[in-house]
Amino acid sequence: MLTQTQRQAASDLLWDAWQQGRRIGALPAAIRPATREEGYAVQALLEHRSAYPLCGWKIAATSSAGQRHIGVDGPLAGRLLRERVYQSGVELALGANHMKVAEPEFAFRMGKTLSARASAFALDEVMAAVETLHPAIELPDSRYDDFTAAGAAQLIADNACAHCFVLGPAAGTWWRSQDLAEHLVTAIVTGRRPQQGKGGNVLGDPRLALTWLANELSHLGIDLAAGQVVTTGTCMSPLNIEPTDHVLADFGALGSVELRFAALSPA
């Protein structure tokens, strides 16, 4: 078990790499988390670095293909820092982002707090605590040279590859009667063929992914708080992106979300 000093050292190393846009091969063995719980303990130290309350949570690896790609056997949770959350229509610099992908996602804003407890939350209970549904785009990244070889504990410590997040406007309240598993999403990146996905690519249904997140946090003794946003994982294969690209994710009647990447600054 890592000591508090070791957890802080791991957090400092990952945070510095994130802020400087650099990569590391792996956390040094002396401060490397060996379990998911140790990974989350390192990740939790991110919160005091933000000037704002935690914006919410992301879920990584919500498809079997995604899990195989990064060598994990289940989803991973990460924190959304408010400084890295933007509204639809934003222009962002791609900067030192190593992954260079955009991921269209179903996101939920909580209206009620789900307090950590011993018994599991049921889907209906979780959905009753949701206030709004939003189309969203996540721009993940990792601080490891090869994130596919890092393993679950190190990926969780690295905030489950969280980087930037773009939130679209809330859908109308009628979304509650829709079959989100079959709901189609079309994404267009400038000059390329449209790509399509659906909610069922997210742990079978975005609502199931949200329920997983509520129970993952509860297991860790963490409340899923009112006002927090949960983005549930990509509903299609990640979209490759480059500077000057415009990305639009069309969720049909649920709305759309978009962003543009700024051109590279002159040398």
**265 band by pLDDT with thresholds 50, 70 and 90:** low
pLDDT at 69 (0 to 100): 87
List pLDDT tens digits, range 9-45.
999 999 999 999 999 999 999 999 999 999 999 999 9
Domain annotation for the chain: domains and CATH numbers: 52-261 (3.90.850.10)
CA-to-CA separations, 7 to 45, 136, 156, in angstroms, rounded? 8, 32, 13
pTM over 0.95, yes/no: yes
List pLDDT tens digits, range 226-247.
999 999 999 999 999 999 999 9
**267 band by pLDDT with thresholds 50, 70 and 90:** very low
pLDDT at 264 (0 to 100): 72
Cα gap 160→75, rounded to integer Å: 9
List pLDDT tens digits, range 61-106.
998 888 988 889 899 999 999 999 999 999 999 999 999 999 999 9
pLDDT at 65 (0 to 100): 84
Share of the chain above pLDDT 70, in %: 99
CA-to-CA separations, 115 to 54, 59, 79, 122, 226, in angstroms, rounded? 16, 19, 17, 13, 10
